[in-house]
Amino acid sequence: MSTILIKNGTVLTASDRYDADVYVEDGRVAAIGRALPMSAAEVIDATGRIVMPGGIDVHTHLDMPFGGTVSADDFHTGHVAAACGGTTSHIDFATQTPGRGLYHALDEWHAKAQGKAVIDYGFHMIVRDLNPDVYAEITRLAAHDGVTSFKLFMAYRGVLMVDDGTIFRVMQQARDCGGMICMHAENGDAIDALVAQARARGDLAPKFHARTRPPQCEGEATGRALALAAVAGVPIYIVHVTCEDAIAQIRQARDRGQAAYGETCTQYFFCSEADYERPGFEGAKYVMSPPLRAAWHQERLWHAVRPNDLQAVSTDHCPFGFEQPPQKQLGRDDFSKIPNGAPGIEDRLLMLWDGGVNTGRISANRFVELVATNPAKLFGLWPAKGTVAIGADADLLVWDPARRHTISAKTHHMNVDYNLYEGRTVTGAPVAVLSRGDVIVRDGRFVGRAGRGRFLKRLPGAPGLA
Ligand code: URP
Ligand code: ZN
Ligand code: ZN
């Protein structure tokens, strides 16, 4: 029997905050209480520290072929980085190859994680090609294989985009098997027209990425996705919401009583379209879709996560090297060829605690809800994950709210040569990270083992959230 006693900490969940010891037995929380009498193989002193659930990042792209290259973190480097930043579970996107079945993609993604995974992981399935087998595969994936969420793209024509007919039919099938739809909502055709016009004018610098993907295109697609989901009667989760145009659509749908949910991502709180104006080609580091917005949208995002217009904060971690590896350079002469995506899996909790909790924008309880509890409830991982409770997995952070840390590509663990938040000193960081009772980060240093991470077989019927 393996045992750990975390003594004298302050337990923090989405709803509570109290002083208690946490006793872990064989990977699960076995007791919580004041001055617990158990002895344990390891005792962690959490005096002055917070004990909270590990972060759950439900939007990542590890080892993903995209933009003419492959995202730079695999299931090992990405997991080490996630763990060091306090994330103990994530859900990645398996991507269907057109002409092939969904199980081919599932096998591919299982193989990517095999022997490398450090933290626990699940998969959403990206549907690109609705061939006749796919309907039954959706049902089987949800019922038997733990893949209960299906991602669709309304942009990137010729790559990931599907038409409204495909979207609607996948929605109906997902509804029938207790699944959830995840949607990348941007009007791809309008964007493609704007991109073609910008290129024809010779407007090729990174800043034209943002100018050719205006917020209205995100708002329109979000409204369309929500309307289709309402007709199909399926729960829908809008990924990477960036702007008031999209927030308003989600808020209205929720006010109508629709099972509509949304996330934003860390970078949209802290970076803005001004970052595209950085000297030389530096703006390419910030090329992601949807793009960074005018700074005033940031306050709208804070305003949306506070009262539950948006329910989660993820990363959309999709890293491409700037010079090492030279992936962003693919678009040096043409912004439309810059691989879309940015690193962030390591920085989410650090940035959100410092920029959200320390500034009073969100409470510490809401922080836990946004980074762990709601993601777990939305995607069928709760109550095993996403909270500190007896019987739950001991995915725990011993968080030092006074620890100062300067974020930098020189010290981060992500496999890229830049960091969106380079040089920012944050206050609050994990000193120990436990995954199912194994200490995988100690004194801020990674001590986990490749291959220990487990696939999270999720049950249909989420979200367990209003
Ligand atoms: O720019 C992004 N977001 N890259 C990853 C793919 C996606 O759209 O989520
Ligand atoms: Zn997307
Ligand atoms: Zn994404």
Specify whether the CB–CB gap between 188 and 159 falls below 8 A.
Answer: no
429: CB partners within 8 A, 6+ apart = 86, 350, 399, 400, 403, 404, 405, 444
At residue 362, the pLDDT reads: 98
Specify whether the CB–CB gap between 319 and 298 falls below 8 A.
Answer: no
Whose C-alpha lies nearest to ligand 1, atom 8? 289
Location of structure tokens 């917020």: 215
Is the minimum distance from the CB of 289 to ligand 1 under 6 angstroms?
yes
How many helical (H) and strand (E) elements, i.e. helices and strands, does the chain have?
A: 13, 19
Distance CA 246, CA 268 (A): 13
CB atoms within 10 A of CB 410: 9
Q: Which ligand approaches the C-alpha of residue 93 most closely?
A: 3
**Positions in the chain short of pLDDT 50:** none
Specify whether the CB–CB gap between 183 and 154 falls below 8 A.
Answer: yes
Crossing angle for the helix pair 102-113 and 133-144, to the nearest 10 degrees: 40
Encoding tokens for residue 428?
A: 């609050």
247: CB partners within 8 A, 6+ apart = 241, 262, 300, 301, 304, 309, 310
Is the minimum distance from the CB of 340 to ligand 1 under 6 angstroms?
yes
CA of 218 to the centre of ligand 3 (A): 14
Residue to substitute in 66, 285, 289 for testing ligand 1 pocket (most ligand atoms within 8 angstroms of CB): 289
CB atoms within 10 A of CB 139: 17
At residue 297, the pLDDT reads: 98
Give bridge partners of residue 94 from the DSSP assignment: 125
pTM over 0.85: yes
Burial 332-345 (b: 16+ CB within 10 A, else e): eeebbebbbbbbbb
Q: Of 212, 205, 213, 158, which is closest to residue 185 (Cα–Cα)? A: 213
Is the backbone peptide bond immediately before 463 cis, with ω within 30 degrees of 0?
yes
Encoding tokens for residue 170?
A: 């996948």
The radius of gyration of the chain's CA atoms, rounded to the nearest angstrom, is 21
Whose C-alpha lies nearest to ligand 1, atom 7? 289
Is the minimum distance from the CB of 218 to ligand 1 under 6 angstroms?
no
Q: What single-letter amino acid sits at 68?
A: G
Encoding tokens for residue 188?
A: 């791809």
Q: How many CA within 13 A on the CB side of residue 235?
A: 21
Location of structure tokens 């994950």: 385
Burial class (CB within 10 angstroms; exposed 0-12, middle 13-18, buried 19+) of 211? middle
Whose C-alpha lies nearest to ligand 1, atom 2? 341
Whose C-alpha lies nearest to ligand 1, atom 3? 289
At residue 465, the pLDDT reads: 87
Handedness of CA 419, 14, 87, 237 (dihedral sign): negative
Q: How many CA within 13 A on the CB side of residue 253?
A: 31
Give bridge partners of residue 42 from the DSSP assignment: 4
Location of structure tokens 């900490």: 9
CA of 179 to the centre of ligand 1 (A): 22
Phi and psi at residue 331, to the nearest 5°: -110, 25
At residue 266, the pLDDT reads: 99
Distance CA 152, CA 187 (A): 13
At residue 466, the pLDDT reads: 80
79: CB partners within 8 A, 6+ apart = 116, 117, 118, 119, 121, 448, 453
DSSP 43-98: EEE-TT-EEEEPEEEEEE-SS-EETTEE-S--TTHHHHHHHHTTEEEEEEEEEPPT
